[in-house]
């Protein structure tokens, strides 16, 4: 079930919005009678209280839900300390090298480094590299959630988009399974690593994978993060990803350029260029400064990411770069992300 966040302009329509949500909640309750066996359907008063808690949870957690990019793809994460500690899924970052780009819903961007991960359970910890008092949410105490509880799911579905806040979904806990909990809060590509929250606005899980049914969405329990906390905090990286289904990507095919970028003020440097990538074949080299792509000035990495999001495999882009005080231009044919 999906919720639509309301702008101030739409606030006068809130009663209609609540009515639609209440109908959706009832449908969800009836549709999962196994979860609420021996439980009476809630009254309108109780439904309104659920609605109030959902809205409060969204308002509390939304600023701390970040998009994570290695320059080619996106995952999600959640900041859980004012110093910028981030929890995410192991498969979002295990293939990354160097710093990762972090995008806040507010439009603020920064970088983070990998602290540690346990791939056996798909858990990872990052640290924002800049000092600051970052938006954050707390963690729920272990054992405080139970089957049937309402949850809120946040994540940058389909990847980060400038000006779009993480889509909101709600659902209920259906099952506990080893280190995972299973809900009917639907996940798609880009959500991996985002937070699952209780109605107190606390993180109870991190999105990991999906099953064969839309109602089987798996999240790493926050208790598992606590059990691995000291090892990850010491910088340990261990384990092997199990075979699982990642949340399905959006229908369109994504493209890759094959670079890692470094924002310095209003200049974007290439930190690395992957071997046998479109960027390497186009002549790009580490140390180059991106000036323009398809005629559009590039002053930060997300501008390039937005341009690439509109492209398809086989499309080409024109790239203007600065290299040792020389201005050069090249044409690059893009290929599908592998």
Lowest mean pLDDT among 45-54, 106-115, 169-178, 297-306: 297-306
34 half-sphere exposure, CB direction, 13 A CA radius:
6
3 state SS of 300: coil
149: closest CA among 200, 188, 193?
200
> Has this prediction a pTM greater than 0.75?
no
Instruction: Quote the pLDDT of residue 215.
Output: 75
3-state secondary structure 221-232: EHHHHHHHHHHH
For residues 223 and 142, what is the distance between their CA atoms, to the nearest angstrom? 6
User: pLDDT for 79-129, tens place per residue?
Assistant: 999 999 999 999 999 888 788 999 999 989 999 999 999 999 999 999 999
- Per-residue pLDDT averaged across 163-169, rounded? 89
Handedness of CA 264, 268, 270, 274 (dihedral sign): positive
* CATH placement of domain 255-336: 2.30.42.10
DSSP 168-179: EEEEEEEEEETT
Ramachandran assignment for 178, one of left (phi > 0), alpha (psi -120 to 50 degrees), beta (any other): left
Q: Which residue do the tokens 């990642």 mark? A: 246
Domain residue ranges in the chain: 1-251, 255-336
Instruction: Quote the pLDDT of residue 25.
Output: 54
293: closest CA among 250, 334, 337, 254?
334
CB 336 within 8 A of CB 254: yes
- Domain 1-251 maps to which CATH number in 3.40.190.10, 2.40.10.120, 3.40.50.1980, 2.40.50.140? 2.40.10.120
């Amino acid at each position: 079930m999906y919720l639509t966040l309301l702008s101030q302009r739409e606030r006068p329509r809130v009663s209609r919005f609540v009515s639609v949500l209440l109908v959706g909640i009832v449908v969800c309750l009836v549709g999962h009678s196994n979860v609420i066996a021996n439980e009476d359907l809630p009254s309108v008063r109780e439904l309104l209280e659920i609605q109030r808690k959902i809205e409060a949870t969204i308002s509390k957690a939304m600023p701390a839900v970040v998009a994570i990019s290695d320059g080619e793809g996106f995952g999600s994460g959640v900041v859980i300390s004012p110093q910028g500690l981030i929890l995410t899924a192991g498969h979002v970052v295990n293939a990354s090298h160097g710093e990762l780009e972090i995008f806040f819903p507010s439009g603020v961007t920064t970088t983070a480094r990998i602290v540690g991960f346990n791939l056996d359970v798909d858990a990872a910890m990052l640290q924002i590299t800049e000092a600051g008092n970052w938006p954050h949410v707390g963690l729920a105490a272990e054992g405080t959630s139970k089957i049937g509880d309402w949850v809120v799911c946040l994540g940058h579905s389909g990847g980060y988009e400038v000006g779009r806040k993480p889509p909101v979904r709600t659902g209920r806990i259906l099952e506990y399974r080893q280190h995972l909990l299973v809900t009917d809060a639907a996940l798609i590509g880009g959500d991996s690593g985002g937070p699952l929250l209780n109605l107190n606005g606390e993180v109870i899980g991190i999105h990991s994978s999906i099953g064969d049914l839309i109602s089987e969405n798996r999240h790493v329990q926050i208790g598992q993060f606590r059990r691995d906390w000291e090892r990850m905090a010491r910088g340990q990286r261990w384990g092997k990803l199990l075979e699982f289904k990642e949340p399905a990507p959006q229908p369109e095919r994504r493209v890759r350029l094959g670079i890692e970028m470094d924002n310095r003020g209003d200049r974007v440097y290439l930190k690395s260029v992957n071997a046998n990538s479109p960027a390497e074949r186009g002549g790009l080299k580490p140390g180059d400064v991106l000036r323009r792509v398809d005629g559009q000035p590039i002053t930060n990495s997300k501008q390039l990411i937005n341009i690439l999001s509109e492209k398809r495999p086989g499309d080409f882009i024109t790239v203007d770069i600065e290299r040792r005080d020389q201005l050069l231009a090249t044409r690059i044919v893009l290929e599908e992300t592998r």
